Amino acid sequence: MPDIMMERVDQGNFPELVTLIFALAEFEHLTPPDEEGVKRLQEHALSPKPYFEAYLARSDGRAIAYLILIQTYSTFLARPTLFIEDIFVLEEFRWRGVGKAMFLFSAEKAKAMDCGRMEWQALDWNVNAINFYERIGARQLNEWVSFRMDAAAIDRLLSK
C-alpha cells in the first residue's frame, strides 16, 4: 500500500479537490459542477459551518483520492449515521489499499461521532466497487429503493 496521508480540505488544497471531483464525474458519466458551482462548493466546504467534510488522500505529494462525509441520522437507532457522499481514487492508484485506508479513516470518524452506521451508494455497473464494499463487510440494501425530486420537479409540485 502506498504511504498515504489524509488531510482536511482547506483554502490551499481546494483546487486539488475540484480536480478529483471532475475525475469522479467523468468516471461516473455524470455532470460535474460548472464555474458557479465550483464557487458554491468552495463556500460550502470552507464556511465556518461547512455543509460537508472533505478530505484528500495524499501520496508522494500528490492528491490521489478524496472523500466527502456528511452526518445524517437514523431515528430507529437514535444515532447519527456517517454518510459517505463521495469516495474516489484516481484510476492509476487503485488496487493498492487506498480505498480501504479511506474506509478505515471513515470508520474511525463514525466511532468518534457515536454513529450507529455508515451508509453510501454505488452505481449498479460499478462491479469493482460493489465487490470491494462487500469484501470489507458492507451489506447491499436491496430492500430499499431511492427516490429523487430534482429542482424542476420541486417547482412543478409547488406550482400545482
Binding site for a second copy (CB under 8 A): 21, 25, 30-33, 36-38, 40-41, 44, 51-52, 68, 70-80, 83, 85-86, 103-104, 107-108, 110-111, 115-125, 130, 133, 136-151, 153-154, 156-158
Question: Choosing from 51, 55, 73, 133, which is the catalytic residue?
Answer: 133
Active site residue 133: yes
Which phi and psi angles does 107 have, rounded to 5°?
-65, -40
Q: Minimum distance from CB of 156 to a second copy (Å)?
A: 5
Q: How many CB atoms lie within 10 A of CB 126?
A: 13
Q: Minimum distance from CB of 141 to a second copy (Å)?
A: 4
Q: Minimum distance from CB of 82 to a second copy (Å)?
A: 9
Coil, strand or helix at 125: coil
- Cα distance between residue 148 and residue 158, in whole Å: 16
What are the angstrom distances between the C-alpha of 71 and each of 15, 25, 52, 68, 158? 24, 22, 8, 10, 28
Q: Which is nearer to a second copy, 8 or 40 (CB)?
A: 40
- Cα distance between residue 149 and residue 110, in whole Å: 29
Q: Which is nearer to a second copy, 38 or 94 (CB)?
A: 38
Q: Which residues are catalytic?
A: 133
